[in-house]
Amino acid sequence: MSGAATKSPETISGEALAKFKEVQRQGWAHFAALEFLTTPAAARLVRHAGVRSGQRVLDVACGTGVVALTAARMGARVTGLDLTPELIERARENAAIAGVEVDWHVGDVEALPFADGDYDVVVSQFGHMFAPRPAVAVAEMLRVLKPGGMLAFSTWPPELFLGRVFALVGRYSPPPPPGVSPPPPWGDPNVVRERLGEAVKDIGFDRARLYVPSLSPQHNRDVMERTAGPVLKLVESLTSADPARLETFRREYEALVSEYWSDNLVRQDYLMTRATKI
């Protein structure tokens, strides 16, 4: 894309890429149980993006649709897209309950099935950051955004709780295929500026916090093992392959979450970004 960050994506074979995305698709199939935790953050992101009635809005990696539905209730014309069919099915159910219309698609942020300049606003809440090739994801999100349109997203900073969780999971997991980028750098404003490059202007950042109810660090770990894609897949692989290593991972996870847990709440701070396409 003209004007986007100039760094070319690293090479990854088609077979390795397809396998990686299939693992992601399977891993996130159980996320719906956590949608209530991200619902308040959805309203913050919609406000951060300045969504208005009548605008065309695309929610990328929409999950169960909490951002898409929030925007639709404001009168926006919304499309939601996610890689995982089970989450899109849940999103459809949520839309029916809320009595709002959203155009739902199963699809990939790295190959958006929409025309150039289709949308006034493109948003993503803790979603596009899992795309294996950031340069490709950025190019696609900007391609479907009209000039003067707003790109806005929420991500987990690498130095805070969930960024550190992803790093911990990475230490216990097999290395990803060459060319696959981990999600935490998306929470670093300097990396975000580099990745968006000269295709945007007026980049702005804000920070906010989620509180996740947890009776104990062990309860938090158990929930993550059953719902959060990377943690779920790691536990699946270690349960049979290396139970001792799994127990070590669990102890490290519990020690990490203990740093952020008090009064039955886990603090999860996040970064919000917005930028206008030139």
Determine contact, residues 60/122, Cβ cutoff 8 Å: yes
Structure letter (DSSP) for residue 32: G
User: Domains in the chain, please, with CATH?
Assistant: 14-157+176-209+270-277 (3.40.50.150)
State residue 11's pLDDT score: 76
**What integer pLDDT is reported at residue 8 of this predicted model?**
40
pLDDT confidence tier of residue 7, bands split at 50, 70 and 90: very low
Residue with tokens 């390795």: 16
- Whether the per-residue pLDDT at 1 is higher than 60: the answer is no
Cβ proximity of 37 and 212 under 8 Å: yes
Report the alpha-carbon distance of residue 215 to residue 233 in Å, rounded.
Answer: 24
What is the model's pLDDT at position 12? 84
The whole-number pLDDT of residue 13 equals 85
- The gap from C-alpha 278 to its chain's centroid, in whole angstroms, comes to 24
Q: Which position has the higher pLDDT, 13 or 265?
A: 265
Per-residue tokens: 219: 């309860």
CA distance 109 to 81: 8
Structure token digits, residue 114: 């929409």
Look up residue 172 and give its amino acid.
Y
pLDDT tens digits for range 42-82: 999 999 999 999 999 999 999 999 999 999 999 999 999 99
Residue 7 burial (CB count, 10 A) = 11
Cα angle 187, 192, 195 (rounded to 5 degrees) comes to 135
Question: Sign of the C-alpha dihedral, residues 270, 84, 55, 198?
Answer: positive
Angle of helix 14-27 relative to helix 229-241, nearest 10 degrees? Answer: 100
Reading the block at residue 48, the tokens are: 């951060």
The separation between the first and the last C-alpha atoms of the chain, rounded to the nearest angstrom, is 12
- CB atoms near residue 6 (< 10 Å): 9
Q: What is the pTM of this model?
A: 0.94
Give the tens place of pLDDT for each residue, 85-132: 999 999 999 999 999 999 999 999 999 999 999 999 999 999 999 999
Residue 3 has pLDDT above 90, yes or no: no
Model confidence at 10, pLDDT cuts 50, 70, 90, reads low
Tell me the per-residue pLDDT of 129-172, one tens digit each, with 9 for 90 and over: 999 999 999 999 999 999 999 999 999 999 999 999 999 999 99
Q: How far is CA 256 from CA 26, 49, 218, 220, in A?
A: 26, 32, 11, 11
Work out whether strand 265-277 and strand 200-213 pair parallel, antiparallel, or are unpaired: antiparallel
Mean pLDDT (the chain) is 95
- pLDDT (mean) for 227-240: 96
Count Cβ atoms below 10 Å from residue 71 Cβ, excluding itself. 30
